[in-house]
């Protein structure tokens, strides 16, 4: 039994993976503009950020 590459069985997973890769690529490119650091989240909540406390 041969599975053709044009078969719909391949289309759905490849389409989903392609969409996820596209979304993650956009996220990485725009990360600095839209995503906050831990310090920014803590400042927004009125907490003080201590860099030393996160050292593992």
State yes or no: pLDDT of 3 exceeds 70.
no
Number of domains in the chain: 1
Other CB atoms within 10 Å distance of the CB of residue 40: 11
pTM attached to this predicted model: 0.52
CA–CA distance, 49 with 38 (Å, rounded to integer)? 8
Q: Domain for residue 5, yes or no?
A: no
Contact 49, 42 (CB under 8 A): yes
Q: Token digits for 25?
A: 């690529």
pLDDT higher than 70, residue 25: yes
Alpha-helix runs per DSSP H in the chain: 8-29, 31-34, 38-44
Domain hosting residue 30, numbered range: 17-49
pLDDT of residue 19: 97
């Amino acid at each position: 039994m041969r599975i053709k590459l044009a078969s719909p069985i391949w289309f759905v997973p490849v389409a989903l993976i392609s969409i996820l890769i596209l979304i993650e690529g956009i996220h990485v490119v725009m990360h600095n503009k839209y995503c906050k650091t831990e310090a920014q989240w803590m400042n927004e909540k009125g907490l003080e950020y201590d860099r030393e406390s996160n050292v593992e």
